[in-house]
């Protein structure tokens, strides 16, 4: 058997193992299958609530379960963050297949969220398979291309996305969740870089916090991404409200309707670059005074 160590905390300060080493002896023997929420609570730091997700799906003719927990609220950005996440399934799937599923699944989930653009030395995402569903007739899977994996792959993706969005929702000091979609970019990679530039912009994030539909800040963030773009082809939406079209303020733009939209807890920003077919979506949150307070007092 192996024990995997995962921790977050102040970078550079050694982990004091005496705080938990005396608790390890009976963990496996005394473990219970219904303590997922308690485990999620145990790994919280600046989180305000435990993050859990679950799914049940068919593998062959048998039902298998996927459970996941996560923690993280600050220093969150792709590859990866001050984040811990643990996924477990009773499906009989080999380690190499699990690695393939997890690597592919993170691209549009954990690697598409950002709270503050900062990453960490201490991020961990692990997936485990007990194989116990084999006793109920679930087939053993040893190839990533096995056609029977389709439903499991989709269910795992939903669990990963749920946990990733819970991390964003609980971003330090955050009040609003923001979905940023970029379309019409030169490539999907270019679209994601532009989307992250928008999502990581302090000026965009503070505008969302202030419920101000300042689309000029989105234009700025598109420009600073360093990706191909054409000002005269750029269009921007907040929700269903188009604020800019072909590089200019939309003549039909309604300040009243957009201001009402910005009061929502979930905000969607879309930028169409107008030069290609590349698209990408990332998620972030607003930037508030509370974020400064939490991180300014972190060690004190």
Catalytic residue positions, numbered: 82
pTM for the model stands at 0.92
pLDDT band at 1 (very low <50, low <70, confident <90, very high): low
- The CATH fold of domain 177-296: Ubiquitin-like (UB roll) (3.10.20)
For the cut 80, the answer to whether the pLDDT of residue 236 exceeds it is yes
For the cut 90, the answer to whether the pLDDT of residue 34 exceeds it is no
Give tens-digit pLDDT for 213-224: 999 999 999 999
Buried b (16+ CB within 10 A) or exposed e, 175-187: ebbbbbbbbbbbe
Rg of the chain in Å (alpha carbons) = 21
**Domains of the chain by residue range:** 30-169, 177-296
- Looking at domain 30-169, does it have CATH number 1.10.1370.30? no
Q: What are the C-alpha distances in Å from 298 to residues 41, 61, 101, 284? A: 20, 50, 36, 21
3-state secondary structure of 143: coil
pLDDT band at 300 (very low <50, low <70, confident <90, very high): low
Strands 241-245 and 235-238: antiparallel
For the cut 80, the answer to whether the pLDDT of residue 122 exceeds it is no
pLDDT of residue 207: 98
Q: Do 85 and 70 meet the contact criterion of CB atoms below 8 Å apart?
A: yes
Buried b (16+ CB within 10 A) or exposed e, 1-29: eeeeeeebeeeeeeeeeeeeeeeeeeeee
CA dihedral defined by 112, 118, 120, 126, rounded to 10 degrees?
-10
pLDDT band at 121 (very low <50, low <70, confident <90, very high): confident
Give tens-digit pLDDT for 137-159: 999 999 999 999 999 999 999 99
Q: State the Cα–Cα distance between residues 6 and 26, nearest whole angstrom.
A: 19
Beta bridge partners of 124: 84
């Amino acid at each position: 058997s192996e024990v995997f160590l995962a921790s977050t905390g102040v970078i550079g300060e050694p982990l004091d193992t005496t705080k938990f080493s005396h608790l390890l002896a009976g963990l496996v023997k005394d473990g219970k299958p219904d303590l997922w929420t308690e485990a999620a609570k145990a790994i919280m730091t600046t989180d305000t609530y435990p993050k859990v997700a679950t799914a049940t799906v068919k593998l062959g003719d048998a039902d298998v379960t996927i459970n996941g927990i996560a923690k993280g609220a600050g220093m969150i950005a792709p590859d990866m963050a001050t984040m811990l996440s643990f996924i477990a399934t009773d499906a009989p799937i080999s380690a190499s297949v699990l690695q393939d599923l997890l690597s592919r699944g993170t691209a549009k989930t954990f690697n598409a969220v950002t709270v503050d653009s900062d990453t960490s030395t201490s991020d961990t995402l692990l997936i485990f398979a007990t194989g116990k569903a084999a006793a109920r007739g679930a087939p053993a899977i040893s190839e990533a291309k096995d056609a029977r994996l389709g439903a499991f792959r989709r269910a795992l993706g939903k669990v990963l996305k749920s946990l990733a969005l819970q991390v964003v929702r609980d971003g330090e000091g955050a009040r609003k969740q923001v979905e940023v979609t970029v379309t019409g970019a030169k490539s999907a990679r270019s679209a994601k870089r532009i989307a992250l530039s928008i999502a990581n912009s302090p000026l965009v994030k503070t505008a969302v916090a202030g419920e101000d539909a300042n689309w000029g800040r989105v234009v700025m963030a598109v420009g600073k991404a360093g990706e191909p773009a054409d000002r005269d082809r750029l269009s921007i939406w907040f929700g269903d409200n188009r604020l800019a079209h072909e590089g200019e303020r939309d003549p039909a733009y309604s300040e009243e309707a957009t201001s009402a939209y910005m009061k929502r807890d979930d905000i969607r920003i879309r930028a169409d670059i107008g030069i290609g077919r590349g698209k990408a979506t990332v998620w972030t949150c607003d930037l508030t005074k509370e974020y400064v307070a939490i991180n300014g007092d972190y060690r004190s």
